[in-house]
Structure 1
Amino acid sequence: MPNKFNAERRHHIPKMRHFVRNWPEYESGLRNRGSLTFWVTPQAMQLWPAQARSTPGGQSIYSNQAIQTSLMLRLVFGQALRQTEGLMRSIFQLLEIDLKAPDHTTLSRRSMTLKALPRQCALPAGPLHLLIDSTGLKLFGAGEWLQEKHGQKSRRSWRKLHLAVDASTGHIEASVLTSQDVDDPSQVGPLLDQIEHKVASVTADGAYDGEPTYERIVQRDTQIDVIIPPRVTAQPSAQFEAAPTTRDNHLLMIQSLGRLEWQEAYGYGKRALVETTMGRFKAIIGPKLRARDPRGQQAEANAAVAVLNRMLSAGRPNSVRTSAAAV
């Protein structure tokens, strides 16, 4: 039941809404996401037969581009491997193209051999402003049901996906899939190692606070701005008075002005964009990994990153905030 005390004197803040300025372009991009020709591109079909050949008495050999395209179609339309095989065959039949679709066993086997997949992201003109965070992905199986019903502890629980997102474009620039017991700060280095572009800043939440994180970023480039809020129990370093570190300066400013002032001064609010990316991942791809083998799970996560980046490249809303009274 709502509280009626001081209702007349209570300050009511109007709900903020967003107005999309480029709606025609954005709407066209949304339609393209469901187009089969958007995913099976002419470039992919050109590379498809270039490396595909049939050995005597053996199976066809497909290019990595063909395997990646099939994996992306599987994730976009939520199909199993056999249904993905049928979908690819029907596309080639409708287009009247003499190409073979990889069967489901080939997709499963080849996905475990793919070392890296193109992330389909366009680099910005200037340096990257990275937003780093992680989320959990469940593994496909009956692990939770077995644990609840019979008290059995399943070996298949969940994986942790670490992402580095560019704040200006929203593209996922780097990703790492680890086991559930791997801590977040230890993956800052592997994420930065995947990025060849110049990095201007790294923003993350308090879970990444600690000198090891700062040291790893400084090893990459001493000019990178580290925007990580210190924990509530954080203490200054030993050389605080003689040579304060970046973390010491953050801690001093928070103690003198407060966390809200610190967040506004350093633009910490943009970190919400990486949480939005996590939500897009689970809404479009799903909260589970279908592959059973860890190598296949890594390939599935990489294909999912390529799917999200291509969707974002098709059309991104240019929205501005406006009050309810102005709509």
Structure 2
Amino acid sequence: MPYKHNADRRHHIAKMKFRVTNWPEYEEGLRRRGSLTLWMTPEALAGWRAPRRKTRGGQPRYSDLAIETALTLGCVFGMRLRQTEGLMNSVFDLMGLDIPVPDHTTLSRRAQKWTPPARRDPPLPDGPLHVLVDSTGLKVYGAGQWLEEKHGARSRRNWRKFHLAVDANSCEIIAQRLTDQDTDDPSQVEPLLSQIDGGIDQFTADGAYDGKPTYLSVLQHSATASVVIPPRSTAVESGSAGPPGQRDKHIAAIAKDGRLQWQAATGYGKRALIETAIGRYKASIGRRLRARSFPAQQTEVAIGCAVLNRMLAYGRPESVRHHDKQA
């Protein structure tokens, strides 16, 4: 049950315990996440250099694949661009590969123009998806909040808003957006859904997404999708002619049975999985953006999501509720 409904008796409520059922496979996956074993396929070596352009201007030396590889390694090991350059040089020397490595200046410049590839690895599962949507804040490099609190100086560097969509079944990030801190959540539903090719069976979000724009965006993408968003405490039914919409049904169900029973009936508790995904991103990738420019920050977040999905594909825990035996 939500903490706010049990605040006065929380100490009497036993904490739920879970038991991991695939511990050997999950443990091996955790080891693989820290492995330094790398290999370069012949296709990657052939596509390392950029194809020669026939228009005016300077000729690019490295392909988007080379830039993506370097930025991915830097994200995995939490390195800045100069350290990433040094890591790749040493790895290629150990592998005996005589191929050039993008320097940190090239990585910084190309990161501002990099676009995610059309491929998606791993691919989305078949069938309609249960999409969970939420947002969080990522700090921007610089003094920022400390300057404001310590000296009262207004800093232009505050934080960015990270919007993401997660598949409830696989827990993978299937769509992401990075915006400024003043962007509202409902306005990013349509851009997130536009990144999802498959159909949607259920769309779940918190009360910040409540409103007609969110329902319209979801139903335009999948007309038969079930939208599960808790209405505001002051919400009233629309009273329009015709059968009640999904939001009106939620308001009526909460008024009749209560909010907690409505959450259990609609599966709203699944939304906790996206909170877990946000915590996983901040723990593995970081709470702070390293890049300075906004386009480079968007690239950093996109690569961070791809890295996190790859880590999750290596191994994820499968747990069941553990009930203590009563004496």
Normalising by structure 1, we get a TM-score of 0.89
In the other structure, the counterpart of 1:221 is 222
User: How far did residue 252 of structure 1 move?
Assistant: 0.2
- The letter of the residue matching 2:94 is L
- The letter of the residue matching 2:321 is R
Aligned residues of 1:230 and 1:251 also touching (Cα < 8 A): yes
- The letter of the residue matching 2:159 is W
User: How far did residue 49 of structure 1 move?
Assistant: 4.0
What residue ranges of structure 1 are gaps of 5+ in the alignment? 1-9
Give the secondary-structure state (helix, strand or coil) at the position aligned to 1:136: strand
**Further displaced range: 317-326 or 158-167:** 317-326
In the other structure, the counterpart of 1:177 is 178
Hey, what's the Cα distance between the residues in 1 that align with 2:197 and 2:69? 25
User: How far did residue 144 of structure 1 move?
Assistant: 2.0
In the other structure, the counterpart of 2:201 is 200
Hey, what's the Cα distance between the residues in 2 that align with 1:307 and 1:283? 13
Give the secondary-structure state (helix, strand or coil) at the position aligned to 1:101: coil
Hey, what's the Cα distance between the residues in 1 that align with 2:312 and 2:173? 10
Matched, 1:121 2:119: no
In the other structure, the counterpart of 1:4 is none
Hey, what's the Cα distance between the residues in 2 that align with 1:213 and 1:136? 21
Aligned residues of 2:163 and 2:177 also touching (Cα < 8 A): yes
- The letter of the residue matching 2:177 is V
In the other structure, the counterpart of 1:130 is 131
User: How far did residue 209 of structure 1 move?
Assistant: 0.3
What residue ranges of structure 2 are gaps of 5+ in the alignment? 1-9, 53-57
In the other structure, the counterpart of 1:271 is 271
For the aligned residues, what is the CA RMSD?
Answer: 2.1
Aligned residues of 1:52 and 1:61 also touching (Cα < 8 A): yes
Aligned residues of 1:119 and 1:172 also touching (Cα < 8 A): no
Label 1:94 to 1:187 Cα distance change in 2 as closer, same or farther (>3 A). same
In the other structure, the counterpart of 2:40 is 42
In the other structure, the counterpart of 1:17 is 17
Hey, what's the Cα distance between the residues in 1 that align with 2:259 and 2:51? 63
Normalising by structure 2, we get a TM-score of 0.89
User: How far did residue 99 of structure 1 move?
Assistant: 2.1
Matched, 1:291 2:291: yes
User: How far did residue 64 of structure 1 move?
Assistant: 1.5
User: How far did residue 150 of structure 1 move?
Assistant: 3.3
Matched, 1:249 2:246: no
Aligned residues of 2:185 and 2:208 also touching (Cα < 8 A): yes
Give the secondary-structure state (helix, strand or coil) at the position aligned to 1:131: strand
1:142-161 alignment, distance < 5 Å: 142-161=143-162
Aligned residues of 1:14 and 1:324 also touching (Cα < 8 A): no
